[in-house]
Amino acid sequence: MENILIIGAGGQIGTVLCQALQERYGESRVIASDLRVPPNPRGIFVSLDATQVLAIADIVRQYNVTQIYHLAAVLSASGEANPIRTWELNMQTLLNVLEVARTFRISKVFVPSSIAVFGEDAPHVNTPQQAFLDPATVYGISKVAAENWLHYYHTRYGLDIRSLRYPGVVSYQSLPGGGTTDYAVDIFHKAVHGQPFTCFLKEDTRLPMIYMDDAIRATLELMEADAARITVRTSYNLAGLSFTPAELTAAIQVYYPSFQTTYQPDFRQQIAESWPQSIDDTRAAADWDWKPAFDLARMTGEMIHHLSDHSV
């Protein structure tokens, strides 16, 4: 029987992944954790500061944990406010998780990476799995380092660690925080409330994104794949869809014709321009049969359906 610890369970992906794992494995088998415990959590939710290795070890021992999903990290935009602190937090929590996993012989670990590992010198269209990694943000630098640590712990200690380079994740269940792709969620909240949206990126900034359902399915499919099929032990490229703020606005206008976006690019524009516009994920397709299900029209319809009071 698996007992699964999620670190960063209160975040955008953690909130939804936690529910998906509870549905799959049972509520008593999933130990959600974050710095703060939300009011009325479903199932087991414990307070955990992942910068404290002994605190992670205590929970692993107490709940007999067999798998860890480590989702806590400072993201691309907020990370730039304090680069050294971001590096320390992202690396310390990662190394703590890896050491606990090694010591307690955890059977499987998931640590997400990001499209932020890519920078100026990677091809921006259909960015390949193997590309030059020269990230422009401290978040990206920490994810490149993380990918190499994952590979190291796998080859040196035989740990079964798996990872995906998430694009921007679009969700109705939870809000992102501190990312460069966050606009693609914020825009829907404005649209359903009948308000105009001010975008911090230029209208033609194309970025890779993924709808939450696809992101969760990809994570579970990767984690459940036969270990012999996992040929990438740094992190897999993962594609969902790609769009610009102008294209997303047009897709929303199908439901709200008077909805308007204005553009006031800030420092996040430069981060976005350093990232891929689209991702080549043929390796994920070949190794564990990955195939996204949501295009722009379907994603937009679902977001509006869930965020508005009525079905559209």
Smallest separation (angstroms) from ligand AKB to the CB of 169: 6
Q: Sign of the CA dihedral 291, 1, 14, 61?
A: negative
**Which residues lie near ligand AKB (CB under 6 A)?**
75-76, 114-116, 139, 166, 168, 179-181
Least spacing, CB of residue 60 vs ligand AKB, in Å: 26
Closer residue to ligand AKB, CB minimum distance, 192 or 240: 240
Whether the CB-CB separation of 11 and 71 falls below 8 Å is answered with yes
CB of 77 to ligand AKB, least distance (A): 6
Q: Minimum Å distance from CB 226 to ligand AKB?
A: 27
Closer CB to ligand AKB, 65 or 73, in the complex: 73
Catalytic status, residue 69 = no
Euclidean distance between CA atoms 191 and 201, whole angstroms: 17
Measured at CB, which residue is nearest to ligand AKB?
179
Please count the other Cβ atoms lying within 10 Å of the Cβ belonging to residue 62. Answer: 10
**Choice among 139, 153, 211, 236 that is catalytic:** 139
Q: Whose Cβ is closer to ligand AKB: residue 63's or residue 197's?
A: 197
Report, in Å, the least distance between residue 3 CB and ligand AKB: 28
Amino acid making up residue 296:
L
Which is closer to ligand AKB, CB of 4 or CB of 207?
207
Select 31 or 170, whichever has its Cβ closest to ligand AKB: 170
Neighbour tally for 39: CB within 10 Å: 5
The b-or-e profile of 113-141 (16+ CB within 10 A means b, else e) is: bbbbbbbeebebeebebebebebbbbbbb
187-to-57, 183, 258, 291, 307 alpha-carbon distances in Å: 40, 6, 14, 26, 11
Q: What is the Cα–Cα distance from 182 to 43, expressed in whole angstroms?
A: 28
- The set of catalytic residues is 139
